[in-house]
Amino acid sequence: MSVIRLLVLGAVRQHGRAHGYQVRNDLEYWGAHEWSNAKPGSIYHALKQMAKQGLLHAHEIAPSTAGGPPRTEYEVTERGTEEFFRLLREALTSYDQKPDVLSAGLGLMVDLERREALSLLEQRMRAIGEWRKAVTEYYTPEEGPAQLGHIGEIMDFWVHSADTGAAWTRGLIERIRGGAYTFAGEGEPFVGVLAEGEENPYATGERHPGDRH
């Protein structure tokens, strides 16, 4: 799945309307440039592509009094909202994706209702269990990795990863069941984006031509 599309749609949704540099600033504020492919070029490319695909509506606004080209503000369309939730649900349930997929899903999971978030995470638990069962049809963890030579270390890693992933997911489910965090429909959401003009302490400072648009 495309992590950058999920992140960009999520950032624009939280603003209502946002220009490209705001989106870039938010993703750097989230640290997404460290744990995903959310670099300036990919962010601006995703905005333009999703506008062409009808997932975002591009509003051209007047240039600033300081001059320069007019900026474009983006707003998520109905199709874009459907795509956002499709990607979010996939991110929370797909156990065999790269860590950036789950990270993006966790950062946006409160856009779902609590009950659905729990259902998706329980689905993730079942998928991890099925994966572990498939591995242990060929590998017996109790006998150790040496039973298959050094290749057994791969199986051992998979089993340990499954166990760790399941334990962590179980803990998250318990926290959410216990009332942690504010999910959709429960009141004022957590504000995870920067206000216009608010300084970003985590900004990279890297300049990109797309910052002007």
Q: Could you tell me the CATH number of the domain that includes residue 66? A: 1.10.10.10
Question: Which residue range is the domain that position 19 belongs to?
Answer: 1-80+187-203
In a domain, 119, yes or no: no
In a domain, 64, yes or no: yes
Distance CA(32)–CA(212), nearest Å, equals: 21
CB atoms within 10 A of CB 192: 14
**Would you state the structure tokens that stand for residue 49, as one six-digit string?**
């592509």
What is the model's pLDDT at position 51?
A: 95
In a domain, 140, yes or no: no
Q: How many domains does the chain have?
A: 1
In a domain, 73, yes or no: yes
In a domain, 22, yes or no: yes
**How far is the CA of 122 from the CAs of 27, 61, 87, 174, 176, in angstroms?**
28, 44, 17, 11, 12
In a domain, 136, yes or no: no
In a domain, 171, yes or no: no
In a domain, 125, yes or no: no
Tens digit of each residue's pLDDT, the chain (213 residues) = 689 999 999 999 999 999 888 899 889 988 898 888 888 899 999 999 999 999 999 997 766 555 556 678 999 999 999 999 999 999 999 888 788 999 999 999 999 999 999 999 999 999 999 999 998 888 888 888 888 788 889 889 999 999 999 999 999 999 999 999 999 999 988 777 777 777 776 566 676 655 555
